[in-house]
Amino acid sequence: MISLIDKLYTDENLEDDLLLELVTQLDTTTVSYLFEKALEKKTVYYKDTVYMRGLIEFTNYCKQNCNYCGIRGKNTKVDRYRLSKEAILNCCDEGYKLGYRTFVLQGGEDPFFTDEVLVDLVEAIKSGYPDCAVTLSVGERSYESYAMLKKAGTDRYLLRHETATKSLYESLHPGMSFENRRNCLYTLKALGYQVGAGFMVGLPNQTPADLVADLRFIKELEPEMVGIGPYIPHDETPLKGATGGTVEETLVMVALARLLLPKALLPSTTAMGTLDPKGREKALKAGANVVMPNLSPTDVREKYELYKDKICTGDEAAHCRQCIEGRIKSAGFRVDMGRGDHASIHIPEEAVSVQIKL
C-alpha cells in the first residue's frame, strides 16, 4: 500500500486496478500515510492556506427530482423561498465587509431565474464588487445560457457530476440525462469557466469500482474544483432510510483526488461537519483547501435542507465566519480571504492591487 501511495504521489496518476486496491485495502496505518502525502501535495501549491468562500443559498425551488435531495421538486413539505436581488446584494454586502472576495450563489433549478434575471444579478454583483469572484451553482443549462452568464462576468461554475457510473446516475436522477450533465461540464470548460465537478460518497448501491470511476472522470476532465461529500439521507425523499456515507470513506476520496489533481481546489464540505464535529478539520488535514461558510439570511437557512441535521442553520454570517476561521487555525492552517483562484490562473496585476488597497 505504501509503495502504491508513493507511486501515486510521484506520478500524479495510477491505474484503475491499483486505485481500486487503495480504495478497498487501506488500514489505519496506510490511511494516515495517504492523508499525510495528500497534505504534503497540497502544500506544494497552496502552502498552509485555506480559502474562504461566502455561500448564498438563494433559492430552494427546484424543477428536478434527484432521489437523494431534500429540496427536490416533489417534496411538498419544503417551505419554498427565493431571495430577491436586493436580499442577495445585501448578503454580498455583509460578506464583503466580513472580508469575503468570492461569492458562491447556489440554488435548485428554479425556472424563475431565467438567463435575463441571472445576467442582471451577476452584473450587479460584479459592478458592486469588481474585486470579487462570482461562482454560480444552479444546475444544468443550455450552451447559450452558460455563454451569457460567462459574458456577464461569472468566473466559476459548480456542477457536481454526482456519479460517473451511468446506471447509478440514471437510477438516482429521474428524467435527467447522464450524457447531458457531463456535456454541461465540458461546455463550461470550453467557455473558460473555472469548473467544479464532484461526487457523493456512500450512495445506495455505490461500489468501490464506482468511486474509482469518479476519480478517473475527474482526472480526465481536470476541473479546477472538486466537491466531494458524504451522501446523507433525507427523510422526505425516495431514499429515506438509506445508510449514507461516512467521514472516513469520504476523507480517502478527498486525499486521492488531491494526489490525482494536485492543483485542485477541494472544499471541506458542510456535510462532513454534519456527520462529525471535527469532519471539516479532518478534510483539511487530508488535502482539502477551501471552506464555504454560509452568508444566507438566517431565516431561510433551515429551508435549504438537502439532508437531515444540516449544521450552521441558526448562525449569523459573522458567527460562521469566526467559527470556521477558528477551526482552520486550530487545524494548523492559515485563512486566505482572497479570491482564491486555481493555482494555474494568473490574476492580472490590476486586480491584485485593488485587493491590496482595500
Name the residues that contact ligand SAM, by CB under 6 A.
68-69, 106, 108-109, 137-139, 159-160, 162, 200, 229, 231-232, 234, 271, 306-307
* Polymer length of the chain: 358
Query: Taking CB under 6 A as the rule, does residue 184 contact ligand FES?
Result: no
Which run of H or of E encompasses 164?
Answer: none
> Measured from the CB of residue 72, what is the shortest distance to ligand FES in angstroms?
4
Closer Cβ to ligand SAM, 39 or 292, answer by number: 292
Q: Which does 229 bind (CB under 5 to 8 A by kind): ligand FES, ligand SAM, none?
A: ligand SAM
> Measured from the CB of residue 304, what is the shortest distance to ligand FES in angstroms?
9
Query: Which residues in 185-222 are b (16+ Cβ under 10 Å) and which e?
Result: bebbbebebbbbbbbbbbbbebeeebbbbbbbbbbebe
> Measured from the CB of residue 291, what is the shortest distance to ligand SAM in angstroms?
16
Report the C-alpha gap between 110 and 43 in whole angstroms. 39
Query: Taking CB under 6 A as the rule, does residue 71 contact ligand FES?
Result: yes
Closer Cβ to ligand SAM, 304 or 333, answer by number: 304
Segment interacting with ligand FES, rule: CB under 6 A, options 4-12, 60-68, 152-160, 187-195: 60-68
Could you list the beta-strand ranges (E) of 66-141: 102-107, 133-137
Q: Of 54, 134, 122, which Cα lies nearest the Cα of 94?
A: 54
Handedness of CA 330, 311, 38, 335 (dihedral sign): negative
Q: Which does 4 bind (CB under 5 to 8 A by kind): ligand FES, ligand SAM, none?
A: none
- Residue choice 72, 160, 182, 282 for contact with ligand FES (CB under 6 A): 72
Count CB-CB contacts under 10 A for residue 260.
21
**CA of 120: how far to CAs of 96, 115, 124, in Å?**
19, 8, 6
Query: Taking CB under 6 A as the rule, does residue 171 contact ligand FES?
Result: no
Closer Cβ to ligand FES, 109 or 123, answer by number: 109
Closer Cβ to ligand FES, 176 or 335, answer by number: 176
Report the C-alpha gap between 48 and 94 in whole angstroms. 27
> Measured from the CB of residue 284, what is the shortest distance to ligand SAM in angstroms?
19
Report the C-alpha gap between 125 and 102 in whole angstroms. 11
Segment interacting with ligand FES, rule: CB under 6 A, options 4-12, 33-41, 67-75, 125-133: 67-75
Which run of H or of E encompasses 157?
Answer: strand 156-158
> Measured from the CB of residue 168, what is the shortest distance to ligand FES in angstroms?
16
Query: Taking CB under 6 A as the rule, does residue 136 contact ligand FES?
Result: no
Query: Taking CB under 6 A as the rule, does residue 50 contact ligand FES?
Result: no
Q: Of 270, 253, 266, 183, which Cα lies nearest the Cα of 224?
A: 266
Residues of the chain by 3-state class (helix, strand, coil), percent to 5: 45, 15, 40
Q: Which does 250 bind (CB under 5 to 8 A by kind): ligand SAM, ligand FES, none?
A: none
Residue with cell 450512495: 203
> Measured from the CB of residue 1, what is the shortest distance to ligand FES in angstroms?
37
Q: Which does 72 bind (CB under 5 to 8 A by kind): ligand FES, ligand SAM, none?
A: ligand FES
Site residues, ligand FES (CB under 6 A): 62, 64-66, 69, 71-72, 108-109
